[in-house]
Amino acid sequence: MLKGKTALVTGSTSGIGLGIALSLARQGASIVLNGFGDTEGPKAQVDALGVKVGYHGADMSKPEEIAEMMAYAASEFGGVDVLVNNAGIQHVANVEDFPVDKWDAIIAINLSSAFHTTRLAIPHMRVKNWGRVINIASAHGLVASAQKSAYVAAKHGIVGFTKAIALETATTGITVNAICPGRVLTPLVQKQIDANAARDGIALDAAKRELLAEKQPSLQFVTPEQLGELAVFLSSPAAENVRGAAWNMDGGWVAQ
């Protein structure tokens, strides 16, 4: 379905981003990966699916590096057709204790980076009159939790950003939507499980169960593969009139 298209997924060396990149690759899209840590493993996984794969290590907190990544995608892949804004970080603290540098980093990486990639991707999509922008928000884009002020602000922000750009492109072949995952067992969530287990003096399995029971009625983690298939649907012709949605896949979290 996506043969001849290029998908760029930010923060795709791990977790949800890698799951989405693999799902889009299975549909034939060429893939531009981004993110930190091991890059060879993720590249090999995409390569094994028989599509063209590239990588750019831009730091999503740095607008000039984001511009370099978009220029790389234009020169090596002819531009970005499916843009998945996924890179994100978390920090947990009461607002009076929240480190200022963590606030700035979360807003830059989880919110402002999507502005920079999108503003640079849309001109190419307008020329082709086809494009998909998929912003990975969170259940925290729709409801809040204590101790997550920066994350909740950034995720509510990206849901609003999604709606605004969906309206700007509403009469074109470009659609802009957000996906709002509940808890997914990735390194980002594993860190919270480790911290809770240490804080409460309980085993990791018990901390995992507690984390799910607190918010997610299904008592199951959402998986990167399930989120990848939702991104495939949003990229499909059937989703042409899904515009400005904030689509939760959260085991019932925000239904409560």
Contact footprint for ligand NAD (CB under 6 A)? 11-17, 34-37, 59-61, 86-89, 109-110, 136, 138, 181, 183-184, 186-189
DSSP state letter for 201: T
Question: Nearer to ligand NAD by C-beta: 64 or 96?
Answer: 64
For the bound state, the minimum distance from the C-beta of residue 137 to ligand NAD, rounded and expressed in Å, comes to 7
For the bound state, the minimum distance from the C-beta of residue 162 to ligand NAD, rounded and expressed in Å, comes to 13
Clarify whether 151 is annotated catalytic.
Answer: yes
Spatial distance between the Cα atoms of 224 and 4, rounded to a whole number of angstroms: 24
Spatial distance between the Cα atoms of 24 and 60, rounded to a whole number of angstroms: 21
For the bound state, the minimum distance from the C-beta of residue 3 to ligand NAD, rounded and expressed in Å, comes to 26
Question: Nearer to ligand NAD by C-beta: 144 or 188?
Answer: 188
Alpha-helical segments (H) within 201-249? 204-215, 224-235
Question: Nearer to ligand NAD by C-beta: 124 or 215?
Answer: 215
Q: Which amino acid is at 221?
A: F
For the bound state, the minimum distance from the C-beta of residue 79 to ligand NAD, rounded and expressed in Å, comes to 20
Question: Nearer to ligand NAD by C-beta: 132 or 155?
Answer: 155
Among candidate residues 55, 77, 103, 151, the one labeled active-site is 151
Beta bridge partners of 248: 180
H or E segment to which residue 31 belongs = strand 30-34
Spatial distance between the Cα atoms of 135 and 83, rounded to a whole number of angstroms: 8
Spatial distance between the Cα atoms of 203 and 111, rounded to a whole number of angstroms: 34
Q: Which amino acid is at 154?
A: A
List the catalytic residues.
151
